[in-house]
């Protein structure tokens, strides 16, 4: 681990100023991702700005939705009554992630910016365009069973690892930030960028922008939602495939749907074409299968992860079928 300086701040403007003024500075949330990567020399910030004293740990329920402070811990969010009732997909996704101890520390802001678990990214012995732009991608020719099949480029095939973000993607969440130029509101579906030629650039944030909150809009469809995570072991494991879905059915027909995928794409993946294919159709397994095929029509498997196409297809059909089944 490289030497770094550390400061704790108690207001958001001071946090932004510190990060703007120091060379290669980073905000410190729960530290469960950043400190891991600092110990591995993958992240080498020169200055850490600890934001844990900022007043960003409230969950506010309003008529227009819910506003979640960036420092709300994953555990608190998962068990909040309004989240469980109105956005169950988010509660389920959070509880499917990591372990209770990690969820107790992990913040909403840090979860949004957690970095990939690609083995070659985590080990500085390997070439990795994301860690060291222009050095190549060891995963392309390596063991790529856990890697992405959607949104990949010839520079990087790493998956986005978060469960929470897949649920937020299905819930039309909006990220609020504060930077030297003031506040910004960024729809989550525009927050992450395609890798293209520079896999080190993962989102639209400027380096010195602080995430202050995430807002969820209010719509009936979100209350009937579900998260399915398929992984190699039942706990303490990242997704091979995950599906976040919300469904509104009127008279046997689909009136509204939200569908997002995790574990298979380079960013939390909103399956908008599949959603369009479903609206107005019968709420049936046959239609879910057709939509799953639409969602996967541009999937590009690597040498070891072709199984993810069929697994994702089945996971989509199962998630939507479980949402359709009457509650007993």
Ligand X SMILES: Cc1cc2nc3c(=O)[nH]c(=O)nc-3n(C[C@H](O)[C@H](O)[C@H](O)COP(=O)(O)OP(=O)(O)OC[C@H]3O[C@@H](n4cnc5c(N)ncnc54)[C@H](O)[C@@H]3O)c2cc1C
What sign does the CA torsion over 10, 16, 17, 21 have? Answer: positive
Nearer Cβ to ligand X (111/305): 111
Among positions 42, 77, 78, 137, the unique one binding ligand SF4 when judged by CB under 6 A: 137
Calculate the alpha carbon distances from 113 to 162, 216, 293 in Å.
9, 18, 30
Q: Is 139 in the site for ligand SF4 (CB under 6 A)?
A: yes
Q: Which stretch binds ligand X (CB under 6 A): 110-118, 144-152, 185-193, 293-301?
A: 110-118
Residue 89, both tokens: 């997909």
Q: Which stretch binds ligand SF4 (CB under 6 A): 7-15, 126-134, 233-241, 267-275?
A: 126-134
**Contacts with 237 (C-beta within 8 Å, 6 or more apart), sequence order:** 231
Q: Is 128 in the site for ligand SF4 (CB under 6 A)?
A: yes
Residue 84, both tokens: 């469980």
Q: Is 157 in the site for ligand SF4 (CB under 6 A)?
A: yes
Residues 149 and 264 sit within 8 Å (Cβ to Cβ): yes
Instruction: Please tell me the distance from the alpha carbon of residue 139 to that of residue 76, in angstroms, as a whole number.
Output: 36
Q: Is 121 in the site for ligand SF4 (CB under 6 A)?
A: yes
Q: Is 150 in the site for ligand SF4 (CB under 6 A)?
A: no
- Around Cβ 234, how many Cβ atoms within 10 Å? 8
Q: Which stretch binds ligand X (CB under 6 A): 22-30, 134-142, 219-227, 292-300?
A: 22-30
Nearer Cβ to ligand X (114/312): 114
Instruction: Please tell me the distance from the alpha carbon of residue 88 to that of residue 244, in angstroms, as a whole number.
Output: 10
Write each residue from 188 to 207 as x if it is in contact with ligand SF4 (CB under 6 A), else as -, in one continuous string: -----------x--------
Q: Closest CB to ligand X belongs to which residue?
A: 110
Q: Is 265 in the site for ligand SF4 (CB under 6 A)?
A: no
- End-to-end Cα separation, the chain, in angstroms: 53
Q: Is 70 in the site for ligand X (CB under 6 A)?
A: yes
Considering CB distances under 5 to 8 angstroms, the limit depending on partner class, which of ligand X, ligand SF4, none binds residue 98?
ligand X
Residue 85, both tokens: 């009732």
State the number of binding residues for ligand X (CB under 6 A).
30
Smallest separation (angstroms) from ligand X to the CB of 305: 18
Q: Is 97 in the site for ligand X (CB under 6 A)?
A: yes
Q: Is 120 in the site for ligand SF4 (CB under 6 A)?
A: yes
State the number of binding residues for ligand SF4 (CB under 6 A).
14
Q: Which stretch binds ligand X (CB under 6 A): 31-39, 149-157, 265-273, 307-315?
A: 31-39
Q: Is 27 in the site for ligand X (CB under 6 A)?
A: yes
Smallest separation (angstroms) from ligand SF4 to the CB of 163: 19
């Amino acid at each position: 681990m490289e030497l770094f300086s550390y400061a704790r701040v108690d207001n958001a403007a001071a946090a932004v100023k510190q990060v703007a003024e120091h060379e290669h500075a980073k905000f410190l949330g729960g530290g469960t991702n950043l400190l891991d990567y600092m110990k591995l020399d993958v992240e080498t910030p020169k200055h850490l700005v600890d934001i844990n004293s900022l007043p960003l740990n409230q969950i506010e329920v309003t008529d227009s939705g819910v506003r979640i402070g960036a420092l709300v811990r994953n555990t608190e969010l998962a068990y909040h009554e309004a989240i469980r009732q109105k956005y169950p997909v988010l509660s389920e996704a959070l509880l499917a992630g990591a372990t209770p101890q990690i969820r107790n520390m992990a913040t909403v802001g840090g979860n949004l910016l957690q970095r990939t678990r690609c083995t070659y990214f985590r080990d500085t012995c390997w070439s990795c365009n994301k860690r060291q732009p222009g050095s190549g991608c060891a995963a392309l020719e390596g063991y790529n069973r856990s890697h992405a099949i959607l949104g990949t480029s010839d520079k990087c095939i790493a998956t986005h690892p978060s469960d929470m973000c897949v649920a937020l993607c299905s819930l039309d969440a909006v990220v609020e930030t504060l930077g030297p130029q003031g506040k910004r509101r960024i729809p989550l579906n525009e927050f992450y960028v395609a890798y293209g030629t520079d896999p080190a650039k993962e989102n639209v944030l400027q380096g010195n922008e602080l995430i202050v909150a995430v807002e969820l809009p209010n719509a009936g469809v979100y209350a009937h939602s579900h998260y399915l995570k398929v992984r190699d072991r039942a706990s303490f494991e990242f997704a091979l495939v995950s599906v976040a879905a919300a469904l509104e059915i009127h008279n046997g027909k689909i009136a509204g749907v939200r569908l997002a995928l995790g574990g298979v794409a380079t960013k939390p993946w909103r399956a908008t074409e599949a959603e369009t294919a479903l609206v107005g159709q019968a709420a049936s397994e046959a239609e879910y299968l057709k939509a799953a095929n639409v969602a996967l029509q541009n999937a590009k498997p690597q040498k070891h992860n072709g199984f993810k196409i069929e697994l994702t297809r089945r996971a989509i059909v199962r998630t939507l079928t479980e949402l359709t089944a009457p509650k007993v």
